[in-house]
Structure 1
């Protein structure tokens, strides 16, 4: 496997960490800005909306430049967004930083998957893509609990500063290790929308929306639920997030094997 996959995995690790780490430091963020925890939950909603809007828009815009340049641009957005979150003097700017960082999310994984597959022989394409996505799953086991611990020990702003630094490492890795692959073909917008004529597409989307809606509704407020309702100490949240991340990792692994069957 080429080293370029490591650069993509680092980027995926940073994106996965920033997506979920807010859930571990949500009470601290709410307290610092003087807002309620439900209001602070908009930092998760805003991120999700940014993913929804950013993925198709930036993927289409990405056809104007090479895939490598687009990946570098996306990691740059990620760094800017997390830096803004780390320095934000007001809740509104913190939310804006989350949205900016989220714009890179979907497009990075979409374009990165294509790049990863093109880096290896045809019979290794699935393995290359899974290696890139390992960064995302490991983020739930290591990045999110570690970011939560840093937030509790040194402040949540330090957490986002560290995540921004991860983005810089990912950006430099892409610039150094990912080869140029030329511009991708421009997609047919009409052809893309034609997929929505199929009932199976709507059923798959509905299952995904409802499934992840339930997961994020619970996970967003996992810290106050575990400390204020379940009675765990604040220090135990880090290990609870490790347990959650391990479940995500194993579920993804087993789910893939069962899907193959």
Structure 2
């Protein structure tokens, strides 16, 4: 019996990319589980829509501040062990959340659980950038971010369906299983000894004091704030405003995610030809267009049409931002990936909290239905327009500096 032939470097990178993408899929499903099952969660725990939305906000805040802090504290760890530990923590956290008896306990459990997401996503991007050859780094980073897009295609509609049919606790339980499985896969596939150079204090200072790099990172936060002003409350909006039932709500989440996946696939194919910054701008313009015509959606079919440009651009813009930063300053990639992930979560926190404040204000006035969510799309559009403007400015400055900042 002959021994199996050793894997080539290309095969090792391919296996690592698939495993890390699976981890991002589990992380994405966990981050989105509250939004997907929000209808049953607020009904089961007896809390308001605005209060339920704060589960999204507190998670985003923890991920926002956790990403750069943990990147600095854990930078010397072997990435195989760090990534597996993050996924195991995520699995345990969602398992405990699934049996939480009330909102008061679920809130801190949620906050602690998502610390794992703050570690996994940026460190997975940094790890694959370290493993892959230079000519494949951009594509490799984008590939593992497909996990988030696939989570939006599968995770959101499945969470929504499970929440409506069986209850939100089963949706959280599903995340536990996915995270445990991804942890096993990463452990089996990833090699030992992956330790990107630890960022020195001077390099962190360089990032924080660089106006163009920080502007690009701020674009991510502004775009996220715009998206989550609406996205965090889509499940109750679909039910209360356009009258969607459980199956129709799941379909709309699937529809959005499917075009999100398509957008990322197109991104991976054309990013080298079109350029990351230009794709970011196009993606955000598509998102802004959906927000502009939002009031035209009066039913499931019209909503599917309205949300299509957003679906194509929403996830693609985040992936392109990661590639944009990695190409602009490769020597600062570890810090930039962490800070950009932090910006994604900051945008989620600001958007979900801001949208919750608006919904709560209308609720306090005794309004309901469409009136409860009015003005959310205008606020979302304003955030997105500012993000587009800042992105264009940052790209002009990057061109002046010769493409590398």
Compare 37-46 and 117-126 and name the one that shifted more: 117-126
Tell me the distance in 1 between the aligned counterparts of 2:247 and 2:233: 16
The 5 A counterparts of 1:1-261 are 1=11, 2-254=14-266, 257=270, 258-260=274-276
Partners of 2:94 and 2:104 in 1: CA distance: 14
1:24, 1:237 within 8 Å by CA — same for their partners in 2? no
Instruction: Say if 1:124 and 1:200 are closer, same or farther in 2 by CA, change over 3 A.
Output: closer
Per-residue deviation at 1:81?
A: 1.7
CA RMSD of aligned residues (A): 2.0
Instruction: Point out where structure 2 has 5 or more consecutive residues left out of the alignment.
Output: 1-10, 279-405
* TM-score of the two chains, using structure 1 as the length reference: 0.91
Name the structure, 1 or 2, with higher relative contact order (CA <8 Å, separation 6+): 1
Structure 1 CA distance for aligned equivalents of residues 243 and 197 of structure 2: 54
Give the whole-Å Cα distance in 1 for the aligned partners of 2:247 and 2:36.
11
Aligned partners of 2:29 and 2:152 also within 8 Å? yes
Within 2, Cα distance between the matches of 1:82 and 1:171? 14
Cα contact 1:77–1:100 (8 A) shared by 2:
no
Q: Contact between 1:43 and 1:98, CA under 8 Å: does it hold in 2?
A: yes
- Local SS of the residue matching 1:46: helix
CA distance in 1, matches of 2:179, 2:31: 13
1:92 CA drift (Å): 2.4
In our comparison, the structure showing a higher alpha carbon Rg is 2
Number of aligned residues: 261
Q: Normalising by structure 2, what TM-score?
A: 0.60
Residue 35 of structure 2: SS of its match in structure 1? coil
